[in-house]
Amino acid sequence: MAISFQVTASGGNARTALLSTPHGAVATPAFMPVGTRASVKGLYPPLLRQAGAQILLANAFHLGLRPGSERIRDLGGLHRFMGWEGPILTDSGGFQVFSLAKLRDVTEEGVAFRSPVDGQMLFLTPERAVRIQEDLGVDVAMALDELVPAGAGRAAAAAAVERTARWAERCTRAQARKGTSLFGIVQGAADEGLRERSARQLAALDLPGYAAGGFSVGESKIAFRRVAAYTARVMPEGKPRYLMGVGTPLDLVDAVSWGYDLFDCVLPTRNARNGCLFTSAGTVAIKNAGHAADPNPLDPECPCWGCRNVSRAYLNHLYRANDPTAVLVNSLHNLTFYLGLMERIREAVAKGTLEALRKGVAEVYPE
C-alpha cells in the first residue's frame, strides 16, 4: 500500500492522524488547496508552503484534456510539472459528470463528454480515469463515480450508488502503479440508507481510503449536515475519510467533529479573487470604499505577508485597480487563514477543546 494512516489523538468522533504518502506526510485533519489545472490560481508552490499547505488537490479530468496526462507523464509527472514536491490528490472527473450535464451522456461503460476545451467528443471510463491519474503520478487517485443532483429521486440515487460501486471495482482492477493509492467515493444523495449501502459496498473493496461525495449539489444546509455526519459514521474507521467540496470555516470544524480527515474547497481562493477575505473577526469585503483610506492591517492576528506589511487601504487599491497582485496577496491571506484554522483544529482535538473552538468560530462565522 502506497499510503499509511496512523491516528495520533482522538476525542469523540474527531481525530488527528498522520497520513504518510510517497511524497511526504500530512498531519490531519488537513485542508487541500484546489489547483484544478496544476495551479492554485495566483500562487506558486513556495507561497503555498508559506501559507501552510501540506497537500494539494488537482483535477484529472481537466488535466487529461489539457495538456494531456501523457504529456505530463513524459515530462516527469505532475509533481515535477508544477514544481510541487508534496503530496497530490486528484479528483477523477466524477464531479464533471454532474457539472457538465449538458455536455455528456452516462452509460454503464462510462461517460461520453463533449470537451469544454475544443468541443471534441471523448469517452471517460473507470479504467481511463485510473490511467490518467497514474500517468500524472499522484499520491491519491479518486475512483470514477456518479453523483446525482439534489431532488433527483431515490430511484436515480440508488442507481448511481450501484453504478458507483461497479465502477469502483473496475477502477481497482485497472490499477497498475504502486505509488498511487485509490480512494472510493460514497454516494447516496440525501438518503441515509443509500449512504450506508454505498459505504458497505466500497468497504468490501478494502481500499486505502474513502471519500464522501455528492454534496454541494443543491441540497439544503440541514440535509447536508444530517447526511454528511451520518456518512462519516458508516465509513471505515481505520482509513482516512475525505469530505469532498467542503466548506466554510464552521463546516470544517463540524466535519472534523463528525470524523472526517481531509477537505477541499474553492471557497478561500475564489473569494479572494472576488475581494472577500476571511479574518479572525469575520469576512471583510476589501473592495468596499470604506477601506480606501484605512491604515490598519487586514487582520492583526494573521501572519501572512499582507497582514504584516500593508494596510487595508493598499489592498483596496490593488483590487479596485484590477492589479493581479491583489489575487496573489488576497489568495495567500485566505489560504493562510484556512490552513491556520486547520492547525488550530488539530491542536483542539489533541487537547480536547474542539467544542470550545467551535463556539468561537460560530460566533464569527455563524451558519
The catalytically annotated residue of 135, 254, 264, 299 is: 264
Taking only Cα atoms into account, the Rg of the chain, rounded to an integer number of angstroms, comes to 20
Q: Provide the β-strand partners of residue 283.
A: 278
- Choice among 91, 135, 251, 254 that is catalytic: 91
Cα–Cα distance, 203 to 185 (Å, whole number) = 10
Q: What is the DSSP letter of 289?
A: G
Contact in structure between 345 and 29 (CB atoms under 8 Å):
yes
Rounded CA separation 204/169 (Å): 10
DSSP, collapsed to helix, strand or coil, labels residue 108 as coil
Closest CA to 220 of 265, 190, 198, 250: 190
- Relative to beta strand 30-32, strand 262-264 is parallel
Alpha-carbon span 30 to 21, nearest angstrom: 14
- For the question of residue 91 being annotated catalytic, the response is yes
Peptide bond into 42 cis (omega under 30): no
Backbone dihedral angles phi then psi of residue 33, each to the nearest 5 degrees: -60, 145
264 flagged as catalytic:
yes
Give the Cα separation of 232 and 211 in Å (integer). Answer: 9
- Closest by CA to 283, choosing from 364, 359, 367, is 364
Q: In the numeric block, which cell numbers belong to residue 67? A: 495538456
Closest by CA to 329, choosing from 34, 35, 82, 51, is 51
- Distance in angstroms (rounded) separating the CA atoms of residues 112 and 107: 8
Neighbours of 252 (CB within 10 A): 23
In this structure, the dihedral spanned by the alpha carbons of residues 201, 203, 204 and 207, taken in order and rounded to 10 degrees, is 120
Cite the active site residues.
91, 264
